[in-house]
Amino acid sequence: ASRGPNGKVSNCTVTDTYTQTSGNYSGGIIGVAYRTAVEGCDAINTSSTGFSYVGGIAGAIHGQASITNCNASSEISSKGPYAGGLLGVTYEQSTISDSNATGNVVSTYAGDAYVGGFAGAIYGASKVTNSCATGNATATKGQIAGGFAAISYGSSSITKAIAMGDA
């Protein structure tokens, strides 16, 4: 975890790894980023598994955190409500730009869940721009799935985004 207010994770590459937690916040680079900038990082051929908040780069970002110019080539598996190819959830005016997610995302949660090729959920005036998702998002027990994001609300925005996977 990273807790700013001026935290920074930059120019890193993680390859051929498996990240697993029986709890929340599992990511290929960072579990949760609060008021932290994640820049120029890649998670290549990785796998992240957890209960909730699971993503290829980060499980969750919030508190005006950011992800810029990052790429995740990951297989994501969640037993809980938030999972995405790049990140599980973003909220509190966080931003994601110029980033890509490749790989499949699966959630086996039986309750309300959000599964996306790029992000499970985009909340709280967060913004996503210039980004792409190419993996499939699968909600195995009737949850909400989206090729790019399962849900976006609360003045959040998604612009110049592409999703090429199935949901």
Residue 124 per-residue DSSP state:
T
Q: How large is the average pLDDT for residues 23-44?
A: 95
Query: Which of left, alpha, beta for 148 (phi over 0: left; psi -120 to 50: alpha)?
Result: alpha
- The pLDDT of residue 111 is 87
Q: Which pTM does this prediction carry?
A: 0.95
β-pairing, 149-152 vs 127-133, is unpaired
Residue 106 neighbours by CB under 8 Å, 6+ apart: 76, 77, 78, 83, 115, 138, 140
Mind listing the pLDDT tens digit for each residue in 72-97?
Answer: 999 999 999 999 999 999 999 999 99
| Per-residue pLDDT tens over the stretch 96-121 | 999 999 999 999 998 889 999 999 99
Max intra-chain CA distance, the chain: 39
